[in-house]
Amino acid sequence: MSVEEARAAIVQKLQMGGTKGATSLGTKTLVAANQMVFDDAMADLEREGVAIVNREAAKPKYYLREFAPSHREAILIKLRKGGVKGVPALSTRSASANARTAIEKDVAALESEGEIVVDRNGAKPKYYLKEFAPQLPNLERVCARLEEIATAKYPEIFSESELKKELSKGEATLLGRAIYWLENQREIVRLRHGASTFFTSARALHSAAGGELAVMAGAASFPKGAASSEPVATSEGLDAGRIREAYRVLAEHSGFPSVKIAALQRESGAALTVLHRWLMEEHQQGRAVLSFGDWSLSDEAARVAAIELRGERYLLVKLL
């Protein structure tokens, strides 16, 4: 028996099973005589998404994708009942490992589609239906707030506890990540006096030094003359002026200095690979700041346009 024949037999069996599914892939005699072939055929169908195997019970059950049961509806019902209080867990302690895996898969899909919101800022995640979800602290907003405070109050310096006071309780949970990101992006600089650590605006410090100071922030530094308005070499085939004009339009329209890389590519008409190369050049020269953005709420176009750097994916950019 060929794999193609086994595939056809499995599909026919699962069509007959409908929403009840099937506990076997064919007749006992036929499958026993062609076990490896049936296993290969089923593996192909599952990999291609044609068939689904529910492994939550002691024995697996097989379905065509259109008939397969889902935890999605149960999750949505549970979150609707939870309302604004949210739900701390979507599976019970007694649920099998396979059941928990299936639920987690459906949760990830619902979050990606924007149907639900997961608050991961506490010790344990909390789940909300989108319409009941609170305004969650966002790393980019926290970074932008700290950057503005540090710049506006320069030459004042801040301890980590003083920076924390500038944030709400929810935002404060992101302080450590925000400091790490701002240092990495050369927005703040760490200063030490004895055993004490303080922070100040890296760009304000650089500007005060007349553009001659290379400010170390993490592993990166400002090159001499990075703040200069003189034209610089850019990626071949790209109109830097057009990119900056597109950025200006997008930033003014949104009212926020960081714009989606996907929107910048669309507004400017630049080829994505060339735009990426130019943005990386600007980033290395201290004239562009990359931001994470919210991956879970981004569409496919925004994700495709993201820049990956040191294992992190950046959806947004701010041009300086």
Give the tens place of pLDDT for each residue, 254-299.
777 889 999 999 888 888 888 988 998 888 787 888 888 777 777 8
Q: pTM value?
A: 0.41
How many domains, the chain?
A: 4
Residue 246 shares a structural domain with residue 262: yes
- Residue 239's pLDDT is 81
Residue 116 has pLDDT above 50, yes or no: yes
Provide the token pair at 171. Answer: 């935002």
CATH number (domain holding residue 173):
1.10.10.10
Residue 145 shares a structural domain with residue 219: yes
- Residue 24's pLDDT is 86
DSSP state of 295: G
Residue 210 has pLDDT above 70, yes or no: no
Residue 141 shares a structural domain with residue 217: yes
Domain end point (choices 114, 132, 150): 132
- Residue 79's pLDDT is 92
Distance (Å, rounded) from C-alpha 53 to C-alpha 297? 29
- Residue 217's pLDDT is 37
User: 155 preceded by cis ω (within 30°)?
Assistant: yes
Q: Which class for 151: exposed (0-12), middle (13-18), buried (19 or more C-beta within 10 A)? A: middle
Residue 200 shares a structural domain with residue 171: yes
Domain boundaries, position 316: 231-320
Q: What's the whole-number mean pLDDT along residues 189-218? A: 72
Distance (Å, rounded) from C-alpha 205 to C-alpha 188? 9
Average pLDDT, the chain: 80
Residue 199 shares a structural domain with residue 248: no
Give the whole-number percent of the chain exceeding pLDDT 70: 87
Domain end point (choices 132, 154, 184): 132
3-state helix, strand, coil in the chain (%, to 5): 50, 15, 35
Residue 204 shares a structural domain with residue 161: yes
Q: Which of 156, 137, 151, 199 minimizes the C-alpha distance to 320?
A: 151
Q: What's the whole-number mean pLDDT along residues 155-171? A: 86
Asked whether 54 and 103 are in contact (CB, 8 A), the reply is no
Q: What's the whole-number mean pLDDT along residues 102-125? A: 81
Strands 307-309 and 312-314: what pairing?
antiparallel
Residue 186 shares a structural domain with residue 102: no
Q: What's the whole-number mean pLDDT along residues 214-223? A: 38
Residue 41 shares a structural domain with residue 122: no
Least confident of 24-33, 207-216, 244-253, 305-314: 207-216
Give the whole-number percent of the chain exceeding pLDDT 90: 8
Across-strand partners of 289?
A: 318
- Residue 236's pLDDT is 54
Residue 125 shares a structural domain with residue 151: no
Strands 126-129 and 188-193: what pairing?
unpaired
Place 33 in a pLDDT band, splitting at 50, 70 and 90: confident
Asked whether 202 and 189 are in contact (CB, 8 A), the reply is yes
CATH number (domain holding residue 114):
1.10.10
Phi, psi of 305 (to 5 degrees): -80, -5
- Residue 220's pLDDT is 38
Q: How do residues 70-94 score in pLDDT, each as one tens digit?
A: 788 888 989 999 999 999 988 877 7
- Residue 214's pLDDT is 41
- Residue 255's pLDDT is 75
Residue 240 shares a structural domain with residue 319: yes
Domain end point (choices 132, 148, 170): 132
Residue 13 shares a structural domain with residue 26: yes
Residue 144 has pLDDT above 90, yes or no: no
DSSP state of 188: E
Q: What angle do CA 36, 40, 41 make, to 5 degrees?
A: 115
Distance (Å, rounded) from C-alpha 118 to C-alpha 295? 12
Residue 162 shares a structural domain with residue 80: no
- Residue 232's pLDDT is 37
